Amino acid sequence: MKPLLALIRAGWKAHSPLSALKSHVRENYRQRWLLPLALVFMLTVFVTLYFFVLQLTAQFHAILKSVGLQRILPTLVILGAQVMALIFSIYSMLANFYFSRDLEWLIPLPLKPRQVVLAKFSHILFNHYALLIPLAGPVLVQYGILEGFGPIYALRLAALILLLPLIPLAISALLVILLMRVVNLGRYKEILVVAGALLLMLLALLPQFLIQDSGTGEGALSDQQVINLFSGPEGITRRITAAFPPARWAASLLDPGSRTRAVVDPLLLAGFSIGAFLLLLLTAEKLFYHGLIGLDESSRRKNIKSVHAVHGSGKRPIRALFLREMRNMNRVPMFLLNGMYSVLFIPVLLLVMITTGHKEYARLLGLLTSANPAVAILGVALVCFLSGVMNGTASSAISREGQSFWISGVIPVPWRLQAAAKFLHAGAIALLGTAIAAVMMVVALDLPWWTAPAGALMALTAAVGCISLSLLIDLARPLLDWVSPQRAIKQNMNVFFAMLLDAGLAFLLGVLTSRLIRAGLSPIALLLTMEGVLLIFAATSALLLFGLAPRLFNRIHA
């Protein structure tokens, strides 16, 4: 037990966000005065967001309660938290289990494979708790207050938070270990890792594809039939959590429908959590080290090839630089997965809505939202924005070069052109995610076809500004001194600040939209106003990027 605790403590010191922040302050000692300003800004954003979430929860609860569907609120939060844990943890598991630099020192030590896996799993679990508590906690606490639950609700909520991520994280870790045991047998390991990780996203959602609607009958349902379909003491949670029963067991822990469920469902949740955890340890003991063989040598060969591929291309500068950006990101599986995860994750969720035939959900959404067509366009724009921009492509564009940044300095191409190539590369990924998400949104929710191009245009306008500012952040404070690719992404504060910027922009635009709707603006006036704001933001950000890029590049190269 002592070696395991020491390993967990050492891993926490090496990889925790607090450790990354301390390291960042030490490496930028002269600019330490910026830290209090950043903390004040983050605290202001989080407090504002907290009260906004509470207000939104109260409004949504009132709407649902008016049609007898208030129990859908905690169920949706729980299911969303577990699905997010299952999908997004695949990237974290790959990075920590197989692409972490500390493995070179851990493997020779007298440690069992399950101890290494357990220590790394604990680190991911702690990080997930750190996200789960501030994101899902306020909504669930507010729900308990609005429903008038007593003090016992607080104890049930604490038990729920502890048990909620165990099953999805254990399933994700099992899938990753099995994946690496298979793909590391092939020749093209890096390509297989990326393809396998994307396949795991689909496998994680496979139950949604397999479970079809039943009992709905043929033909279109009326609005009242849609409401009746979800109402009832048990039907609402069973339909929403049909593909993932642990979400139903967790939901009954907060709001049990009967005394039997109040006892049986929590026991099922705890039992399956323990069972999944034990199965993970058993699988790790047998297969974990087998997935590590040969990864490091193959990655080094690709790095050497990518460096030599820069010279002598004979192509137009902007095209050659664009292709170089693609190679720099594609040469390491962690870079590619980080850049493409949000692009594919949201469309996959929308694909689930299409293939499972849950048209009733779209009808129910239509009943609970305004018929204002501008709202539909703004909703499409928000999803497209999250799909295309919420990744580390732009905010790590310089950091990904690492020790090979000297190549950028000897290329006979102006710095502004190099900044333009990085901007176009991040923009191409944003365009891909935006286009896929726009089409999937229209199909999944039966929206008019014109909402796709209108929403995509607004999302891309916002993306121009966010990509420009994300590149500026990485240009101002690049993380070039890294050994493990994981540090260039996972422990790069630039990625965190850029995502905070993206989330802050989405939040501020949401508040502005709410105010404009309350002011009684017509749909056309609302859309034109929002697009005008985004155009000003995009133009200002782009001018800052290309105006400051030469100076910042020269400072790095000096």
Q: Are residues 181 and 326 in the same domain?
A: no
- Number of domains within the chain: 2
Residue 13 CA, distance from chain mean position = 24
CA dist., res. 12 & res. 9, Å (int): 5
Say how many residues make up the chain: 558
Q: Are residues 405 and 534 in the same domain?
A: yes
Residue 547 falls inside a structural domain: yes
Separate counts of helices (H) and strands (E) for the chain:
25, 0
Residue 304 falls inside a structural domain: no
Q: State the first-to-last Cα distance of the chain, in angstroms, to the nearest integer.
A: 49
Residue 39 falls inside a structural domain: no
CA dist., res. 311 & res. 267, Å (int): 62
**Among 11-20, 319-328, 509-518, 521-530, which stretch is predicted with the lowest mean pLDDT?**
11-20
**Among 149-158, 303-312, 407-416, 455-464, which stretch is predicted with the lowest mean pLDDT?**
303-312
The pair of structure tokens assigned to 155 is 């104890």
Q: Are residues 121 and 190 in the same domain?
A: yes
pLDDT value, residue 542: 93
Asked if residues 88 and 124 have their Cβ atoms less than 8 Å apart, the reply is no
Q: Which domain holds residue 90?
A: 1-10+67-211+225-293
Sequence-distant (6+) residues with CB within 8 A of 13 are 19
Residue 547 has pLDDT above 70, yes or no: yes
Indicate the SS3 state at residue 143.
helix
pLDDT value, residue 467: 93
- Indicate the helix (H) or strand (E) that contains 282: helix 259-287
Q: Are residues 257 and 353 in the same domain?
A: no
Asked if residues 140 and 157 have their Cβ atoms less than 8 Å apart, the reply is yes
Question: What average pLDDT does the segment 530-552 reach?
Answer: 92
Output 329 or 296, whichever has higher pLDDT: 329
Helical pair 451-476 and 493-518, crossing angle rounded to 10 deg: 140
pLDDT band at 43 (very low <50, low <70, confident <90, very high): confident
Q: Are residues 233 and 288 in the same domain?
A: yes
Asked if residues 437 and 384 have their Cβ atoms less than 8 Å apart, the reply is yes
pLDDT band at 138 (very low <50, low <70, confident <90, very high): confident
Q: Are residues 460 and 412 in the same domain?
A: yes
pLDDT value, residue 517: 81
pLDDT value, residue 458: 93
pLDDT value, residue 314: 46
Residue 36 falls inside a structural domain: no
Around Cβ 52, how many Cβ atoms within 10 Å?
14
Q: Among 419, 508, 509, 435, which residue's Cα sits nearest to residue 467?
A: 419
CA dist., res. 529 & res. 47, Å (int): 27
Query: DSSP letters of 438-488?
Result: HHHHHHHHT--TTHHHHHHHHHHHHHHHHHHHHHHHHHHS-----SSHHHH
CA dist., res. 511 & res. 507, Å (int): 6
pLDDT band at 464 (very low <50, low <70, confident <90, very high): very high
**Among 105-109, 416-420, 470-474, which stretch is predicted with the lowest mean pLDDT?**
105-109
Q: Are residues 147 and 239 in the same domain?
A: yes
Domain boundary (250, 277, 293) is at: 293
pLDDT value, residue 293: 57
Residue 305 has pLDDT above 50, yes or no: no
Residue 19 falls inside a structural domain: no
Q: Are residues 256 and 344 in the same domain?
A: no
Question: Sign (positive/negative) of CA torsion 121, 122, 127, 129?
Answer: positive
Q: What is the pTM of this model?
A: 0.66
pLDDT value, residue 201: 63
Share of the chain above pLDDT 90, in %: 10
pLDDT value, residue 368: 46
Residue 206 falls inside a structural domain: yes
pLDDT value, residue 263: 76
pLDDT band at 215 (very low <50, low <70, confident <90, very high): very low
Question: What average pLDDT does the segment 123-130 reach?
Answer: 85
Question: What average pLDDT does the segment 326-353 reach?
Answer: 71
Residue 214 has pLDDT above 50, yes or no: no
Residue 112 has pLDDT above 70, yes or no: yes
What integer best gives the mean pLDDT of the chain? 76
Q: Are residues 267 and 333 in the same domain?
A: no
pLDDT band at 20 (very low <50, low <70, confident <90, very high): low
Question: What average pLDDT does the segment 524-537 reach?
Answer: 92
Question: What average pLDDT does the segment 470-484 reach?
Answer: 83
pLDDT value, residue 207: 56
pLDDT value, residue 469: 92
Question: What average pLDDT does the segment 487-516 reach?
Answer: 80
Residue 452 has pLDDT above 80, yes or no: yes
Q: Are residues 249 and 391 in the same domain?
A: no
pLDDT digits (tens, 9 = 90+) for 232-251: 545 556 666 666 788 888 88
Q: Are residues 125 and 169 in the same domain?
A: yes
Residue 50 falls inside a structural domain: no
Query: DSSP letters of 58-117?
Result: HHHHHHHHHTT-TTHHHHHHHHHHHHHHHHHHHHHHHHHHHS-TTHHHHTTSS--HHHHH
Q: Are residues 200 and 321 in the same domain?
A: no
Burial zone of 152 (CB within 10 Å; 0-12 exposed, 13-18 middle, 19+ buried): exposed
**Among 159-168, 283-292, 496-505, which stretch is predicted with the lowest mean pLDDT?**
283-292
Asked if residues 119 and 4 have their Cβ atoms less than 8 Å apart, the reply is yes
Question: What average pLDDT does the segment 366-388 reach?
Answer: 75
Asked if residues 354 and 443 have their Cβ atoms less than 8 Å apart, the reply is yes
Torsion of CA 377, 382, 385, 386, to 10 degrees: -150
CA dist., res. 470 & res. 482, Å (int): 20
Asked if residues 69 and 227 have their Cβ atoms less than 8 Å apart, the reply is yes
Residue 188 falls inside a structural domain: yes
Burial zone of 413 (CB within 10 Å; 0-12 exposed, 13-18 middle, 19+ buried): middle
pLDDT value, residue 277: 87
Residue 138 CA, distance from chain mean position = 20
Residue 371 has pLDDT above 60, yes or no: no
The pair of structure tokens assigned to 84 is 């997010």
**Among 166-175, 196-205, 482-491, which stretch is predicted with the lowest mean pLDDT?**
196-205
